[in-house]
C-alpha cells in the first residue's frame, strides 16, 4: 500500500475544564504513521497518548483538523463505514483483557468465531499457526489465571492478529513485565510484524529499549508533538521538555552525551 497508514492534519482536541475554559490536549498536530513500520508514542502522564489512539479508532472525534487512514478521510465517518474501518485495526489495550472464563484457545479464536464464517477446522488451523509462532503451543487449554504476565500478553497479541489487521495499536505492551519478558515480547512482536507486514503504533514509556523496534518516536508534550527517527536525535535535542524527558526516561549516560556537546 502506498502512502502513510495514518495521517493527522492540524488535529485539535480540547476538553472543557471544570473551572471554565478549555484544556487543549492536541493543539493542531500533524504527523504521519508510515505503512508497515512501527511508531512509538511517548510522553508524560496526561499528555494525550490515549486520546490520540481513541481519535485514530474514531472512539473520540477531533474538534478541528482531518484524520486519514490509508488516504481515506475518517474524521466524521459513521455507521457501516465506521464498522468496516474498525475491522482494519488490531487493538491490544491494557483494559481489553482476556476473558478469564475462556481458555487460551477460546480467547484467541473468539474474533474468528464472531466475525468470520470460517469452519471449526479452518479456525483450528489458523489459531494453531499463531500459537506456535508465539510460543504458546501446549498451553491451549489453560485459563488466563494459569499464565504468567508475559504469556498473557502473548495470548492478547495472538488474539489481536487473528483478523489480519492492517494497523495494530498496542497500549503499554510491557507494563508489569520483567526485563526478560519485555525483550521476549518485543522480539515476538518484531518477528510477527516482519511476517505479517502490519503498521503499528505502540504507546510506551520504555524509550531506550523500544528503539530496537521503533522506526519513529513521537513525543507528546503540552499539546504539541515532536517526531524523532533515532535515539540520538532525542538525546541531542535542545528543547527543554525533551531534555527533561531524556533525564527521566533514558538516564544519566544519555544525559552526559548531551552535556558534553
Ligand X SMILES: Nc1ncnc2c1ncn2[C@@H]1O[C@H](COP(=O)(O)OP(=O)(O)OP(=O)(O)O)[C@@H](O)[C@H]1O
Residue among 25, 55, 167, 217 that touches ligand X (CB under 6 A): 25
Query: Counting contacts by CB under 6 A, is residue 216 touching ligand X?
Result: no
d(CA 67, CA 85): 13
Query: Counting contacts by CB under 6 A, is residue 202 touching ligand X?
Result: no
Query: Counting contacts by CB under 6 A, is residue 45 touching ligand X?
Result: yes
- Nearest-CA neighbor of 207 among 84, 49, 55? 49
Query: Counting contacts by CB under 6 A, is residue 47 touching ligand X?
Result: yes
Buried b (16+ CB within 10 A) or exposed e, 65-77: bebbbbeeebbeb
Query: Counting contacts by CB under 6 A, is residue 50 touching ligand X?
Result: yes
Query: Counting contacts by CB under 6 A, is residue 204 touching ligand X?
Result: no
Identify the residue whose cell numbers are 482536541: 13
Sequence-distant (≥ 6) Cβ neighbours of residue 257 within 8 angstroms: 235, 236
Sequence-distant (≥ 6) Cβ neighbours of residue 64 within 8 angstroms: 10, 11, 12, 28
- Give the interface segment with ligand X, choosing from 39-47, 85-93, 177-185, 211-219 (CB under 6 A): 39-47
Check: CB of residue 139 under 8 Å from CB of residue 147. Answer: yes
Query: Counting contacts by CB under 6 A, is residue 96 touching ligand X?
Result: no
Residue 102 beta carbon to ligand X: minimum distance, rounded to whole angstroms: 27
Query: Counting contacts by CB under 6 A, is residue 99 touching ligand X?
Result: no
- Give the interface segment with ligand X, choosing from 1-9, 28-36, 44-52, 119-127 (CB under 6 A): 44-52
Q: How many residues bind ligand X (CB under 6 A)?
A: 10
Query: Counting contacts by CB under 6 A, is residue 173 touching ligand X?
Result: no
The nearer residue to ligand X, 26 or 127, going by C-beta atoms, is: 26
Check: CB of residue 169 under 8 Å from CB of residue 91. Answer: yes
Residues at the site binding ligand X, with contacts judged by CB under 6 A:
15, 25, 43, 45-51
Amino acid at each position: 500500500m502506498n502512502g502513510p497508514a495514518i495521517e493527522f492534519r492540524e488535529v485539535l482536541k480540547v476538553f472543557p475544564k471544570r473551572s471554565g475554559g478549555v484544556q487543549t490536549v492536541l493543539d493542531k498536530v500533524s504527523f504521519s504513521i508510515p505503512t508497515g513500520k512501527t511508531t512509538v508514542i511517548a510522553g508524560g502522564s496526561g499528555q494525550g497518548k490515549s486520546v490520540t489512539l481513541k481519535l485514530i479508532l474514531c472512539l473520540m472525534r477531533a474538534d478541528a483538523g482531518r484524520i486519514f487512514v490509508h488516504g481515506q478521510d475518517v474524521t466524521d465517518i459513521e455507521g457501516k463505514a465506521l464498522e468496516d474501518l474498525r475491522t482494519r485495526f488490531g487493538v491490544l489495550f491494557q483494559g481489553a483483557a482476556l476473558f478469564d472464563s475462556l481458555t487460551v484457545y477460546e480467547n484467541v479464536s473468539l474474533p474468528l468465531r464472531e466475525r468470520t464464517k470460517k469452519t471449526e477446522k479452518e479456525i483450528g488451523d489458523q489459531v494453531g499457526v499463531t500459537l506456535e509462532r508465539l510460543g504458546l503451543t501446549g498451553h491451549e487449554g489453560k485459563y488466563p489465571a494459569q499464565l504468567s504476565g508475559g504469556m498473557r500478553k502473548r495470548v492478547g497479541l495472538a488474539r489481536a492478529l487473528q483478523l489480519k489487521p492492517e494497523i495494530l495499536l498496542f497500549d503499554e505492551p510491557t507494563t508489569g513485565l520483567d526485563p526478560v519478558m519485555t525483550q521476549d515480547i518485543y522480539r515476538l512482536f518484531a518477528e510477527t510484524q516482519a511476517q505479517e507486514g502490519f503498521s503499528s503504533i505502540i504507546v510506551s514509556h520504555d524509550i531506550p529499549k523500544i528503539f530496537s523496534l521503533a522506526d519513529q518516536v513521537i513525543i507528546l508534550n503540552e499539546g504539541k508533538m515532536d517526531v524523532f527517527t533515532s535515539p540520538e536525535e532525542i538525546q541531542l535535542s535542545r528543547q527543554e521538555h525533551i531534555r527533561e524527558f531524556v533525564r527521566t526516561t533514558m538516564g544519566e549516560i544519555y544525559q552526559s552525551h548531551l552535556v558534553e556537546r
